[in-house]
Structure 1
């Protein structure tokens, strides 16, 4: 950006927050790596014949009505000519890491919230006098040089920057200058604001509150009924007045893995086999990160799409899935009984030994019940033999791949997954 262009920018005083959102990220990386796919509809997601969902799709596919989280079967109906891929997540992590390095080169104040999204604090100071918009434009150019694009929202707060980043895509730059927050936010639907879900939207609309301007002027008692203790905070967000900081936090809060099944699990043997397979992946991730956790959790989504979770504390922190898998077997009694159908299973480990304070799991804490399962014996009771087996398995998988060695129970649900994936940030640190 030239000096003359910089001079023409209106002055910026006070906080300046950027939200950098990578455009159709997974699909963009696929088009980058497959030049023949550029300009064509590309869908990254699970099998349309196995209840998969769309992880993301290119803008060419979006023109047909395809959207993230849509059922793959519906996406195929809307865009039958699309190019499909289950994705190459090691490649997405690689490109994401390169982009996050660019952001941290611009400022140390970066908060990555997912593989394709990060907040940045670029507030002007006596030392940093560069205009926030100039920084945003340079970031877009540097990211584009890698072969993908990003859209950026610029505002005085994280909530304003987040909403602004969604206003113009792809490669959009939406700037909300200090003092214009209320004019920008007021006409927008309440659902635009993070934290306003479908249930809250329904109650607000029933009271005539349809826009963020309406919400900013709403009765405090009503907002408290709708949002609980966060009522005042949501009003501040609607006014563009919240000042939640950009938190630089490289600590992993939890390590988890979850699987959606093409056919519902209906018997205990299949459920235990799935738990063991998922737990093995979590244990391997823990060992790679050098972490041991004291809390384990199970998340279940049933065939009616309702979700429930349980967690329990272990006697000592561990990264040993062969030790905590039998505990998961016992915990499942709090979530399942014969006749129930399970669509998704997840396992998480948190409360790491190195943490001074308790950290929340990736699973929604409001769904947790404390499990009352009794202590269960490890799959192999001899600690030395068990540890030696784990080390040998890890070494083989490091060298030849995760599927090199598999237990018999892992074969029970082989092929019974949708191939869909999430974008949890902890998997990319």
Structure 2
């Protein structure tokens, strides 16, 4: 947008269209700073950041308008509504600037004209549009298009000529220090920069910056559009750079504690916690005046920062304040030399997601599979007393399920998570109370299930054994889907707040079942097995032949990071399993179990691969994989049966990925980004 703050302020005031206008806090205070000004004011030397006194000397007829933050926010939303109505591929840069991507064959100039017209009709503000085939050229073209115009760089030949017309300072990343290094090499313009080899640039200014400027000078930019920033903010800050004048160390610590309290308040409002605290300091530069030209301003300063990474995310104001005070102590600056203080929180984690909670939710759906044991169905009627034969059968089933020798009294050697709660619920009341008392538990009270309420899955902390006695269920079968949905969405009762995964022992896990699990779930089991705190009071049996974590073999295994398969290879395996699965027009019930397992395993593997990207917070990669699978599912659908299998499989993957994103980012992928198959 052109002079965005000014454009919003002058809407509906045609008398201000032909006069120099600026937006600032005050038009009378000489030390008030210009935030934005229109092109007529710029033509007279006025610029953003200039003191009002200087601006009035350069332009006596300057009209100063106040900020209109509510209107600015409203107009910004309207602008992005226009953007998303044309394409889902939008990378937000600021409140008035964004990159938009369109498919091949799109007429860039016509699309730019349409966007400009719609933005003006919705907001009354003019927009400038740059059109090109990569992010760098689109950005530079938009600068060329200002004010109120369109500029296009259509092909590489035109890009080469366009780049030669620019200055080095126009390139992103070419700051004052970088330009000084280039000038020391005799490079003063783009043409001289293009004449340098990549090796010369890398040797002179470093590998990353040298390679970037080598490509930028030639109009090359391979960066993809990034939409991750649209999902969740990456930092929260509380910064004060005005009026900082500490007389002693006590003043500084009191202020930092208050700043930590403010940051904590902002984190809680956003429902996030932080794992990294950064202290930002402005210190009066050596030789700078003690009192700057702007009253109580920071003046000429040197900027410093220091970070502290937490072992666990937090939003506690006391902890944040203590960390900031300790970081300030490490700087060892005189308190009276400080001119600006800020606290920044990064590595944000949503309240609804943490590592342990995340693992519990994923693994819980597998633990409470209703195929292993019936869920507890509560009723308003009292339970029927079992007959003697039923009692014997249930006791025999308990003995088989738990692997307990009933002739020995060794309840203490069995964790509560090993008990089948379905069996426990149907035992006689006296026996059930004795079992619960032996574990220090209180018998759960029954609740009434009305016709409009869903029955709770469990009423205690109990979970079934990891060892399965039945084949793994097809997660893409409609019945399995409903079970999985209940496992994900059903609320966890207060009595299950203790993390039952801490009771998992690797000795309980059937190795055959373990290695048939998806990669992501096996990782969770491994993590909990390593981090588990012992919950039993029984002394473990020593195992002399088990290598320690520091053995050469385990150290070598830790260094060898697994190579993840590509989504293309995983989809190819899915396609290989499909012709067998849908052959002869058989129904799901008639098909061999192995074929159904192969199909389910292929879809499950694809979901697990995408979920790893979500956990790693690389949403761009997750979105790319989802779009690839969706596109392939559409193009591979050669018959009705195959199309139905692919549609149900992809839609289920999309649902699970959205649930993962909701837990990690408090949001979900928009239908404009990736839509289910219909």
TM-score (structure 1 length as normaliser):
0.70
Q: Is residue 298–residue 328 contact of structure 1 (8 Å, CA) maintained in 2?
A: yes
**Partner residue in 2 for 1:199:** 177
Specify the alignment match of 1:223 in structure 2: 201
Provide the C-alpha distance between the structure 1 equivalents of 2:63 and 2:257, rounded to a whole number of angstroms.
34
Verify the 8 A CA contact 1:310 1:331 in the aligned structure 2.
yes
Change beyond 3 A, Cα 1:205–1:338: closer
Q: 2:76 aligns with which of 75, 82, 96?
A: 96
Distance 1:148-1:263 versus aligned 2 partners, 3 A rule: same
Q: TM-score, normalised by structure 2?
A: 0.46
Q: Counterparts of 1:268 and 1:45 in 2: how far apart (Å)? A: 34
Q: Distance in 2 between matches of 1:203 and 1:120?
A: 34
Aligned counterpart, 1:141: 117
RMSD across aligned positions (CA): 2.7
Residues 57 and 217 of structure 1: is their aligned pair in 2 closer, same or farther, counting only changes over 3 Å?
A: same
Q: What is the aligned length?
A: 334
Match of 1:240? 219
**C-alpha displacement of 1:314:** 3.0
Question: Which residue is equivalent to 1:16?
Answer: none
5 Å-filtered alignment, 1:130-169, equals: 130-145=106-121, 146-169=123-146
Find the structure with the greater CA-based Rg. Answer: 2
Contact 1:51 1:262 in 2 (8 A): no
Which is richer in helix?
A: 2
Q: Which residue of 2 aligns with 1:370?
A: none
Contact 2:258 2:321 in 1 (8 A): no
Cα distance per residue 1:106-143 (max 9 Å; x no partner): 1111111122211111242xxxx431111111111111
Confirm or deny: 8 A CA contact 2:193 2:217 kept in the other structure: yes
Kindly indicate whether the alpha-carbon contact (under 8 Å) linking 2:264 and 2:320 is maintained by their aligned counterparts in 1: no
Q: Which moved more, 1:260-269 or 1:284-293?
A: 260-269
User: C-alpha offsets along residues 129-185 of structure 1, whole Å, 9 cap, x if unaligned?
Assistant: 431111111111111111111111111211111111111322121111112110110
Work out which structure has the larger RCO, using CA pairs closer than 8 Å and 6 or more positions apart in sequence.
1
Instruction: Indicate conservation of the 8 Å contact 1:266/1:338, yes or no.
Output: no
Give the strand-richer structure, 1 or 2.
Answer: 1
Q: Which runs of 4+ in 1 moved over 6 A?
A: none
| Shift of residue 317, structure 1, vs aligned partner | 1.4
Shift of 1:103: 0.9
CA contact (8 A) 1:213 1:239 kept: no
Residue 87 of structure 1 corresponds to 67
Paired position in structure 2 for 1:212: 190
Distance 2:246 2:56 in 1: 25
Structure 2: gaps of 5 or more residues? 286-300, 351-613, 619-678
Q: Which residue of 1 aligns with 2:149?
A: 172
Work out whether residues 245 and 336 of structure 2, in 8 Å CA contact, stay in contact via their aligned partners in 1. Answer: no
Q: Which residue of structure 1 lines up, in the alignment, with residue 49 of structure 2?
A: 69
**CA–CA distance in structure 2, aligned partners of residues 218 and 92 of structure 1:** 45
Matched, 1:59 2:48: no
Q: How far apart, CA to CA, are the structure 2 residues paired with 1:234 and 1:164? A: 18
Q: 23, 30, 38: which is aligned to 2:2?
A: 23
Shift of 1:219: 2.8
Render the CA deviation track for 1:79-99: whole Å, top value 9, x for unaligned. Answer: 344333552334322211221
SS at match of 1:239: coil
Counterparts in 2 of 1:267-416, with a 5 A limit? Answer: 267-304=248-285, 305-335=301-331, 337-338=333-334, 340-354=336-350, 356-357=615-616
Please say if 1:39 is aligned against 2:35: no
Q: In structure 2, which of residues 58, 66, 71 is the aligned counterpart of residue 78 of structure 1?
A: 58
Q: CA deviation at 1:326?
A: 3.0
Contact 1:50 1:262 in 2 (8 A): no
Hey, what does 1:388 align to over in structure 2? none
Find the residue that maps to 1:150 and give its secondary structure: coil
Residues 295-346 of structure 1 deviation map (CA, whole Å, 9 limit, x = unaligned): 1111112232211001112343123335422322232223353265233222
Q: Can you give the 5+ residue segments of structure 1 that lack an aligned partner in the other structure?
A: 1-21, 360-429
Instruction: Give the Cα separation in 1 of the matches to 2:317 and 2:7.
Output: 36
